[in-house]
Structure 1
Amino acid sequence: MQIVFQVSPDRRRWVRATRRAMRPYGTVVWVGCLIIMLGGVTITVLDPADPQGVVFIVLGLVMLVLGLSLPWLAVRMQGWLLDSPTTVTVTAEKLSSRSADVSAEIAWSTVRRVQETPEMWLVRPGRTHMLMLPKDGTDEAGRREFQRLLVERGLAR
């Protein structure tokens, strides 16, 4: 069995995939920013002359903006990886990714999770690594075979 995915260097798609993968951390960012801003409001209400309250409010807002722009920044920092199309070959033992500049192999034993979205699969071999497999990157038979492989490995929901 061998399934081949063609991954185009579409930065918008990568930003959507990264945003989807980072979604659980978004709550942490929102709550952290809210706590910092709430502390600033409390300081400002208790002592309007203290400038630290305004500093905390501004810091919370800056962290919120940075948190929301993290997917875009992550893709921008890794932009050199997206300069050329990538071919991902999936076998029963491993996933092999090859482009003009980079090649990598990931053993299925290291894959922690696979998220399925309407347009792609996000293969997560670790907390900070992700491999995007677009559903339109292979034919219908390849999609069915990949789904069957995920079920066999206990990675499909």
Structure 2
Amino acid sequence: MHIRFDVPADPAYPARVAAALSRVRLRRFGYVGAALAAVGAVGLAVSSALASDDRFSSLWTALLVGGLLSMLYAPWVRWRARRRSGGYAVEGGYDITDDNIMMRSGSESGGIAWEGVTRVTDDPEFWIVHVGRMPATVIPRRLMSDADAETLRAFMTERGLLRRR
């Protein structure tokens, strides 16, 4: 397998990449925040219904506010990443073989060996490549030809990196 394609210098592209990677990295903040907010809301409701002393109401309020702030953290980071990444638009490209994924962006280049990839997740626009537990890079499907995308999907599925449809 040898797939090669270019990435144009689109100012919106780095923002979409940043949003896709941060969505994966920051998902747990939403879950933790929802749990904290739920515990805080239930605790606040129970303590006010029992009309017990107000010693614990500040604890429940803090849990509720902390949970809400945690849930808002991920959208805030994505908004900042989109706003700041527009200046990073440079031409680049991908060169994907059986051995590795080589990426170039402007004068920089780097690669990831398939042996180090632990899994690949599907996003509406990208395949998100994970090395260990962290998302390392993305492969943009819409910039590839349909035949190349199917070839790469079959390769990743065969290696057990991507789930079958």
TM-score range, shorter chain: 0.7 to 0.9
Number of residues of Structure 1 aligned to a counterpart in Structure 2? 156
* Shift in Å, 1:146: 0.6
* Shift in Å, 1:105: 1.1
Match status 1:103 vs 2:89? no
Match of 1:122 among 121, 128, 132: 128
Give me the TM-score of the superposition, normalised by structure 1: 0.74
Q: 1:64 to 1:118 in 2, by over 3 A?
A: closer
SS at match of 2:69: helix
Give me the TM-score of the superposition, normalised by structure 2: 0.71
Query: In the alignment, what sits opposite 2:119?
Result: 113
* Shift in Å, 1:126: 2.9
Match status 1:3 vs 2:3? yes
* d(CA) in 2 for partners of 1:36, 1:101: 50
Match of 2:21 among 18, 22, 42: 18
133-142 or 8-17, larger mean C-alpha shift = 8-17
* Shift in Å, 1:15: 4.9
* d(CA) in 2 for partners of 1:90, 1:111: 13
What is the correspondence of 1:38-49 to structure 2 with a 5 Å cutoff? Answer: 38-39=42-43, 46-48=52-54
Q: Percent identity among equivalent residues?
A: 26
* d(CA) in 2 for partners of 1:17, 1:137: 16
Match of 1:71 among 74, 78, 99: 78
* Shift in Å, 1:43: 5.8
* Shift in Å, 1:19: 5.6
Match status 1:141 vs 2:144? no
Query: In the alignment, what sits opposite 1:30?
Result: 34
Q: Unaligned 5+ residue runs, structure 2?
A: none
30-39 or 92-101, larger mean C-alpha shift = 30-39
Opposite residue 135 of structure 1, the aligned amino acid is: R
User: Are the counterparts in 2 of residues 4 and 88 from structure 1 also a CA contact under 8 Å?
Assistant: yes
SS at match of 1:113: strand
More strand by share: 2
Opposite residue 92 of structure 1, the aligned amino acid is: D
Q: Unaligned 5+ residue runs, structure 1?
A: none
* d(CA) in 2 for partners of 1:60, 1:24: 14
* d(CA) in 2 for partners of 1:27, 1:57: 13
* Deviation per residue, 1:107-138 (Å, 9 max, x gap): 11111111123432111123233322121111
